[in-house]
Amino acid sequence: MRTLPFPRPRLRAAAVALTAPALLGGCDWVVMNPSGDVARQQANLILWSTGLMLLIIVPVIALTVLFAWKYRHTNEEAEYAPDWDHSTGLELIIWSAPLLIIIALGALTWISTHALDPYRPLARIAAGRPLAKTDKPLEIQVVSLDWKWLFIYPEQGVATVNELVLPMNRQVRFRITSSSVMNTFYVPAMAGMIYSMPGMETRLHAVLNRPGRFNGMSANYSGAGFSDMTFTVDSMDDAAFAKWASEARTAQKRLDLPTYLQLEKPSEKVPASRYVAVQPQLFDRIVGMCTKPGETCMQATMMKDGAQDPHRDSGHGAPVNDSGHMRGSESKGALQKAPEEKGSSPHRNAPRPTAPGSSRPGNADNRSMTSIDPLPAILAGRAAARS
């Protein structure tokens, strides 16, 4: 029986290594092959950053292998210089190359950070297609619920759950918030992920340049139903989008406050649905955390706090909520109390008069270096005994 030159396990491992690229060729790397210009620029940023870093990584790995081979123990022809310890030329190469790459990465990061700021309106629809200043973006209000997504279209007067429909090649301004815990709004084919947080509003400007159906998700764990907190994203031309909006306005369900409060309750694997007659300023009330009857919106609370503070020029007060009916009592926070409403506890941080020793050397008060006044009995007794 003939013996194989390589053991069978090694042959299997080599076969897997050779076929792996072919198997991976069928994968759809949506992050690196997106359908929106913002995501395309982000993918290019990843490629440029990786390429710049490989300028150091590849030579270092190659030189490591080269040195290990050249100066191996059995190579008697390799130069042996045990007293060598310095080379000016080598030092210049070692330090200048990484420094130049860091400068290039820093410049690339700085430019991209400002150009791809999610709060910044888009300057272009695609490469070579600048966006006119007169082009009005489509506004969509996004609310992450437990465990589903609510999309409100103010211009169209409709709302959807777990269904996001966008017109192709039109800038979209997303206003994003959450009803309970923090989530992330993420459509890999369109743009990077943006956090949604209760009581706060974040924004994203993006565009889709290709028609088709894409996937959206939450990329931040938020509880038991997180795995099914996904939604579909359909990109279509303007005519198809107008037709979809017209069909959505024929929905039977209305999104008023009672309906929203039912929708807000935790639920899993929620199918896509549509609503009409959206409650006016519903999104602002969700941000202000005042969707339930009798609740005061945070915006109104801050306006009241600012109006009561004579040291503030703007209408925004300190982030302190002292509304009694929201907290279940009529108590006020210490930051909102007038001086005469506070207790008589000594104010330890108040300015103190000049120490008597500065004008009366030898005065008995100079013996007390503590901020406690009067001294506790045990300390006062010891101070009197020493004097």
User: What is the per-residue pLDDT for 319?
Assistant: 44
Which one is predicted more confidently, 332 or 322? 332
Token reading at 125: 């629809």
Does position 372 have pLDDT exceeding 90, yes or no? no
Predicted confidence band of residue 363 (pLDDT cuts 50, 70, 90): low
Amino acid at 36: G
d(CA 147, CA 194): 17
User: What is the per-residue pLDDT for 12?
Assistant: 72
Helix (H, G, I), strand (E, B) or coil at 365: helix
Mean pLDDT, to the nearest integer, of 187-199? 95
Q: Distances from the Cα of 99 to the Cαs of 63, 106, 190, in angstroms?
A: 19, 10, 34
Q: How far apart are the first and last CA of the chain?
A: 107
d(CA 35, CA 208): 6
Q: What is the torsion angle, in degrees rounded to the nearest 10, for the CA atoms of residue 319, residue 325, residue 328 and residue 329? A: 90
Cβ proximity of 205 and 173 under 8 Å: yes
User: What is the per-residue pLDDT for 355?
Assistant: 61
Q: Distances from the Cα of 147 to the Cαs of 18, 55, 189, 222, in angstroms?
A: 42, 44, 22, 8
Q: What is the CA radius of gyration of the chain?
A: 33
Which one is predicted more confidently, 290 or 327? 290
Query: What secondary structure, in 3-state letters, does 215-266 show?
Result: EEEECCCCCCCHHHCEEEEEEECHHHHHHHHHHHCCCCCECCHHHHHHHHCC
User: What is the per-residue pLDDT for 296?
Assistant: 87
Alpha helices in 276-339 (DSSP H): 282-287, 298-308, 324-327
User: What is the per-residue pLDDT for 326?
Assistant: 42
Predicted confidence band of residue 1 (pLDDT cuts 50, 70, 90): low
Write down the pTM of the prediction: 0.70
Q: Name the phi and psi angles at 40, rounded to 5.
A: -65, -45
Does position 146 have pLDDT exceeding 70, yes or no? yes
Helix (H, G, I), strand (E, B) or coil at 143: strand
Does position 171 have pLDDT exceeding 50, yes or no? yes
Average pLDDT, the chain: 82
d(CA 21, CA 18): 7
**pLDDT above 90 as % of the chain:** 57
Mean pLDDT, to the nearest integer, of 188-207? 95
User: What is the per-residue pLDDT for 314?
Assistant: 47
Token reading at 25: 């060729």
Token reading at 330: 């009529």
Report pLDDT digits (tens) over 44-62: 999 999 999 999 999 999 9
Place of tokens 């406690």: 372
Predicted confidence band of residue 320 (pLDDT cuts 50, 70, 90): very low
Cβ proximity of 165 and 241 under 8 Å: yes
Mean pLDDT, to the nearest integer, of 133-150? 94
d(CA 170, CA 208): 7
Report pLDDT digits (tens) over 16-44: 666 666 565 556 689 999 999 999 999 99
Which one is predicted more confidently, 9 or 37? 37
d(CA 258, CA 279): 10
H/E run at residue 195: strand 194-196
User: What is the per-residue pLDDT for 328?
Assistant: 43
Report pLDDT digits (tens) over 209-236: 999 999 999 999 998 899 999 999 999 9
Token reading at 66: 């080269």
Handedness of CA 208, 214, 220, 225 (dihedral sign): positive
Predicted confidence band of residue 311 (pLDDT cuts 50, 70, 90): low
